[in-house]
Amino acid sequence: MSEQPVACRIHVEALAPAFQPQAERWAQRLGLPLQVDDGEFALQVGEQGLQLQQLGPDAPGPVRVDFVEGGAAHRRLYGGGSGQMIAKAVGVAQGVRPRVLDATAGLGKDAFVLASLGCEMSLIERQPLIGALLEDGLARGAEDFDVAPIVARMRLLQGNSIEVMRNWEGEPPQVIYLDPMFPHREKTALVKKEMRLFRPLVGDDPDAPALLAAALALATHRVVVKRPRKAPCIEGPKPSHGLDGKSSRYDIYPKKALKA
């Protein structure tokens, strides 16, 4: 996602007086006001944590990161384990749990699935508002008995994904996973709500070819790119093969075999 949001009127607000100190801290950290006239979006702090709410009469409900309940919990319990397509794409197999960098983490859903399967995950979300939601969700997940061991395998990094990869310090990831924002349409209601919120804030990822190039230079074993099923590959080197699902596919760029 683009690092700088499109010009929107965004403010931070507490949903109850008890959360005002937290709201003030987020406002200062993100450089956002606590109140604006005719605001388009509100970053809200309340009992359920941090959430992003579009304002206006036809606005959808808020978006937050929740690894404890809802869709994340259902997928953790009933999602199919290592048989899931994303698991196969990154190379999860018997005795193989690669170190993965999710360089376009978004709300962390895919990273959470891989962490729940035992992968050590690094995450980068370069859009500060989305990164704040993700940070808050990880913090709340760490307080849950069942989810805490999973989010302990998820390390959130700050900064521009391309620059972080180009200046990587320490042991490089075996696999890098990319799911860039592209101007395409998804069909599910949940994705519609999230995309409706995110598009005005983050736009698309016009630097996807540079993102892919940086990933290919850093990953030791493979790069995986999630794409809409009928969309073209990212400009640049071609993947060796892909795994096709109903609405999306995974383009795989292998460098070295993953072994137990």
Binding-site residue ranges for S-adenosyl-L-methionine = 125-126, 179
Q: Look-up: residue for tokens 């199919």?
A: 80
Q: Look-up: residue for tokens 């937050």?
A: 64
First to last CA, the chain: 33
3-class SS of residue 258:
coil
Positive or negative torsion for Cα 15, 191, 204, 122: positive
3-class SS of residue 139:
helix
Binding site per annotation, positions:
125-126, 179
The residues with which 28 forms a beta bridge, in sequence order, are none
Q: Are 157 and 127 in contact (CB under 8 A)?
A: no
